[in-house]
Amino acid sequence: MAPPFSFRVLHTDGAARRGEMTTAHGVVQTPAFMPVGTRGAVKAVTPRDLREVGAEIILGNTYHLWLRPGDGLIARLGGLHRFIGWDGPILTDSGGFQAFSLGEKRVITEDGIRFRSHLDGSEHLLTPEGAAEIQAQLGPDIAMVLDECLAQPAPLSAVKESTERSARWARRCRDRFLQLRDLCAGEWRLDSETSESRTRVTNPGQAQFGIIQGGTVPELRTLSVERTLAIGFEAYAIGGLSVGEPADTMYSVVAHTAPQLPAGSPRYLMGVGTPIDIVEAVSRGIDLFDCVMPTRNARNGQLFTSEGRLTIKNARYADDGGPLDPACACYTCRTHSRAYLRHLFVSGEIGAAVLNTIHNLRFYLDTMARVRQAIVFGTLETLRQSLQAMFSRPLSDS
Amino acid sequence: MAPPFSFRVLHTDGAARRGEMTTAHGVVQTPAFMPVGTRGAVKAVTPRDLREVGAEIILGNTYHLWLRPGDGLIARLGGLHRFIGWDGPILTDSGGFQAFSLGEKRVITEDGIRFRSHLDGSEHLLTPEGAAEIQAQLGPDIAMVLDECLAQPAPLSAVKESTERSARWARRCRDRFLQLRDLCAGEWRLDSETSESRTRVTNPGQAQFGIIQGGTVPELRTLSVERTLAIGFEAYAIGGLSVGEPADTMYSVVAHTAPQLPAGSPRYLMGVGTPIDIVEAVSRGIDLFDCVMPTRNARNGQLFTSEGRLTIKNARYADDGGPLDPACACYTCRTHSRAYLRHLFVSGEIGAAVLNTIHNLRFYLDTMARVRQAIVFGTLETLRQSLQAMFSRPLSDS
């Protein structure tokens, strides 16, 4: 039985698509932004806050959840949805990017990624099969294949070797995914323990996305597309970007790669990005995004508003009794002044992180709603220009 | 014109009273517990969370708000209610207890308390008149007089001297309060700047409570009651307790002092306490409480439940898929398992502080609702015994 995963395009505006992605835990309007819940929690907010700001799908990190509290524990407790108290769609990355971020602490072989835990230094091996098993136990609606993310710039030979290896890993990861799916086929229920394996499949409706690598080399991107499409996944992501390359380079790679991906599947640009990055990528055919920027910046007092970026600790806001963003209807903007938000931030209050995160997520999700609307009305270019004007200039308060 | 402050007793059960306190920003059902919002925020929760857990009145700290962001700034922005986004009743302490807590950094003279700021070491003098002026600018519904809080145990002569000084300070603080009230009499509006003073009265409906001192010496408590009642306040608090003395000593002082206070005014026991302390004090005639215990313990992972206290980081909860407290209907208990709350706490997630605080406050406020109900039905003694049984024993998980 095929998983309850589907995608249909409702409208287009140039290469941009306004779509609807159906997962085992509900429907997502695309283009969509996924708030990042690294360790099973989008930092500083509750599932209720996420609903209220308009999140339809969130992201969890396989690497972090594997090491703590462990995929076995989460599986025993019914899977990630039940564990974190979020019954909407969830996507988990494969752990490849986190392992990449460990730098010195990891060694990549054909087998997989050997690394030392950032928590206690213990040694672990993450294989393509293991990534599929861990995600089977976690039970997100969308699992990602294990890929190798390469630091840029890198010699062409290294990029080619890495791209080829990612394709081989994708094959192994898909095989294990399909094997686990077959084992529990027809058991469309939670906690269906498979008979031939100790891996517990907590979400039989899980889909798996392949990841296109190839660095900034068009030929290698094309090669990666061919290899990955040949394996066949429910949908495809573009990985290995937003790792330090110039924005224009990223846009070029997206423009080159996205049209080669099937029109009938959503396209996910991993780890991107600023509001400008998002609208630029949407206009090149991307449907899904995730980034820590709105949540991390919120905790650092960097806020996104309809008037541009704003640094809340700036002294000019000490006496400012107006709302953070007069155009925003989030709880923070409805309730508190800039002066109060500055006071909380300067005082190191936990509430500053909470209120700033609610706002920044709402800004991002409102922006996605505007993007979707613009595609329907054929006005994406106008929106793109207005976001460029708003966020290209220096900070409004610097 | 008298301020819109009143109190009426609806039911009694022995010395315990079930009452209703009316303030300029609404009615409070008593006995009541006031969550502590030291720096203008109850740590880790929003005003919306406070409403949902059942808070009717919250406390702010004059010392902290005076030093940052400053009472002048808060007054210019319309007063504390508007500044913090809470339109219900607020009480502020006078700053005396915080100055007491500074230890070496403060010197007490007849004039007032000279101290160095914990923020930047700058020198400040807090006088009784100043405490009234700062609170006039902050605009809580209930202001407290400046008192001297003495470390216990102390020589009898020192307690007597301190008690006498607190009475003289109370006189000066009341005089300034009445002067400010007269200056804006008839101007029942916010931001009524007085003509003869630079102090801005942001809440003309403010009431002022006197504070009974006298340490643990019954005769000095009686002396303090006489002096303070002679001045005359809207209501009275018992201060200088919960500073390290045994619980039985505190209960004795309350039993001695409370009956000497007017039956027609609420009685406030400052800085108290555990659920047991609260029910013991209610049964001796106390109506109002405040304490950092539910919020501070929440951030430390110490949770109050209907089954006793619980330390969430305990390994026994790692696999516990049940709710934190099966008898609790708060958002945390409705949404998350002990296993998840343990994971968040162990991972150092901000969400742990948020969810734990929501629960602990709800536990305290639910306990107050049970106390009020017990008084109405004449069953306070039964409730007292059940809370004693629940919270006298060691931690359920230690």
Q: Answer yes or no: B366 catalytic.
A: no
Task: Give A336 to chain B, closest Cα distance, Å.
Answer: 6
> Which residues 6+ apart lie within 8 Å of A294 measured at CB?
A35, A304, A357, A360, A361, A363, A364
| Mean pLDDT, rounded, for A40-44 | 98
- Is residue A55 helix, strand or coil? coil
ipTM: 0.94
Q: Identify the residue among B347, B357, B359 best suited for mutation to test binding to A, counting A beta carbons within 10 A and taking the highest.
A: B347
Residue of A nearest to B71 (CA): A319
CA–CA distance from B358 to each of A259, A380, B143, B166, B260 (Å)?
48, 42, 27, 37, 36
> Could B351 and A84 be called an inter-chain contact, meaning their C-beta atoms sit closer than 8 Å?
no
- A338 backbone dihedrals φ, ψ, rounded to 5°: -60, -40
Catalytic residue numbers of A read 93, 290
Question: Pick the catalytic residue: B147, B290, B325, B366?
Answer: B290
> Could B40 and A73 be called an inter-chain contact, meaning their C-beta atoms sit closer than 8 Å?
no
Cβ-nearest to A47 among B77, B321, B335: B335
> Could A46 and B73 be called an inter-chain contact, meaning their C-beta atoms sit closer than 8 Å?
no
Tell me which residues of chain A, numbers 24 to 43, contact chain B at a CB-CB cutoff of 8 Å.
39-41, 43
The radius of gyration of chain B from alpha carbons, rounded to an integer in Å, stands at 21
Residue of B nearest to A76 (CA): B319
Chain A CB contacts of B351 below 8 Å:
41, 43-46
> Could A340 and B40 be called an inter-chain contact, meaning their C-beta atoms sit closer than 8 Å?
yes
pLDDT tier for residue A195 given thresholds of 50, 70 and 90: very low
> Could B355 and A46 be called an inter-chain contact, meaning their C-beta atoms sit closer than 8 Å?
yes
Tokens describing residue A262: 């099937």
Q: Identify the residue among A118, A340, A344 best suited for mutation to test binding to B, counting B beta carbons within 10 A and taking the highest.
A: A340
> Could B347 and A68 be called an inter-chain contact, meaning their C-beta atoms sit closer than 8 Å?
yes
d(CA B278, CA B235): 19
In this predicted structure, the answer to whether residue A101 has a pLDDT above a threshold of 90 is no
Q: Nearest-CA neighbor of B208 among B147, B284, B263?
A: B147
Residue of B nearest to A343 (CA): B69
Chain A CB contacts of B318 below 8 Å:
69, 73
Q: Residue B196's pLDDT is what? A: 42
- Average pLDDT in chain A: 93
Q: Tokens 């600018």 sit at which residue? A: B137
Positions of chain B with pLDDT under 70: 1-3, 184-197, 393-398
**Cβ–Cβ contact A337 with B under 8 A:** yes
DSSP symbols for B184-213: TTT--STTEE-SS-S-EES-TT-EEEEEE-
Residue of A nearest to B349 (CA): A43
Tell me which residues of chain B, numbers 277 to 336, contact chain A at a CB-CB cutoff of 8 Å.
318-319, 321, 331, 335-336
Q: What is the pLDDT of residues A251-302, one digit of tens each?
A: 999 999 999 999 999 999 999 999 999 999 999 999 999 999 999 999 999 9
Cβ-nearest to B43 among A84, A339, A350: A350
Q: What is the pLDDT of residues B129-185, one digit of tens each?
A: 999 999 999 999 999 999 998 877 889 999 999 999 999 999 999 999 999 988 765
Q: Residue B98's pLDDT is what? A: 85
> Could A344 and B85 be called an inter-chain contact, meaning their C-beta atoms sit closer than 8 Å?
no
Residue of A nearest to B40 (CA): A344
Cβ-nearest to B77 among A82, A339, A355: A339
Question: Pick the catalytic residue: B13, B93, B141, B366?
Answer: B93
> Could B85 and A354 be called an inter-chain contact, meaning their C-beta atoms sit closer than 8 Å?
no
Is B395 or A311 the better-scoring residue by pLDDT? Answer: A311
In this predicted structure, the answer to whether residue A190 has a pLDDT above a threshold of 80 is no
Q: What is the pLDDT of residues B332-372, one digit of tens each?
A: 999 999 999 999 999 999 999 999 999 999 999 999 999 99
| Mean pLDDT, rounded, for A335-344 | 98
Query: pTM for this one?
Result: 0.95
Instruction: Kindly tell me the sign of the dihedral angle through the C-alpha atoms of B65, B68, B74, B76.
Output: positive
Q: Nearest-CA neighbor of B77 among A335, A339, A311?
A: A339
Instruction: Say which DSSP state A323 is in.
Output: B
Residue of A nearest to B332 (CA): A46
